[in-house]
Structure 1
């Protein structure tokens, strides 16, 4: 098993976007993110049952996220992107579709949520240029993986083209 996600970079990005109230919440947002990563990273390509278990877990985590209030928009979009990524990754390795779609619909939703996270984070105080670059890199990778590895036909190029050419960082950051 290889770690598909980089929790440290993601945690740093989420921490930068967190409001003071969220920072005092005992780290529940970061715990949720860690659980998403744990479920996704547990998927073994040669063991379909791990994919089905991860799909179930990530579906439940998506419901938990939907019930949360007070999250910054960029953080929420990023978490939603990771949940969609987990669902797509599970469907790809488990070779199944679910009530909520198939690997391609979830993978495109993953890319769309990454785009929304980038747009929400631009000009937001506390977000560094390297963090926005990491998000753009994630969107670029998703735009390659969808068609090349998963066989998806979504218009990923349109997502990238809809972003400003450069990321603006809030003054003083």
Structure 2
């Protein structure tokens, strides 16, 4: 959590005070691990995260979601995986980094001061619950079959009930 808060403080230099939403996905992810085929875990987890994000955004009266995805950087960022993930929401999703390659992203991170913090090692929900062999080109039908027996709406609502929100201000030097 500290690493993410530190990165948020750096970004706050450019954006001003940021409303930080601390989200605990652990229980929901454990439910996914129990019910979902291992090769579909990443895309189903991302769909759940997007569903939670959409519900939170609507509570906040936001009009869209913005992500930092870059096409092809990781298994969950293939065109098929992104399309299957997006199908869970009706809210527009903007991806300003979608066409940037890894080196361009690193250069941007260096320029804004987030790179050194971003490469620090830590475990997050994506590293702890990662699939060993994720399906990189899932169809929506693949995802729907993987989600049979899961109630993503109920899981999302349970996650939303535990969100902790607080302001994060920029570091001052």
Task: Give the TM-score normalised by structure 2.
Answer: 0.36
Task: Give the TM-score normalised by structure 1.
Answer: 0.36
Kindly name which structure, 1 or 2, has the bigger radius of gyration based on alpha carbons.
2
Of Structure 1 and Structure 2, which has the larger fraction of its residues in strand?
2
Asked which structure has the greater RCO (Cα within 8 Å, sep 6+), the reply is 2
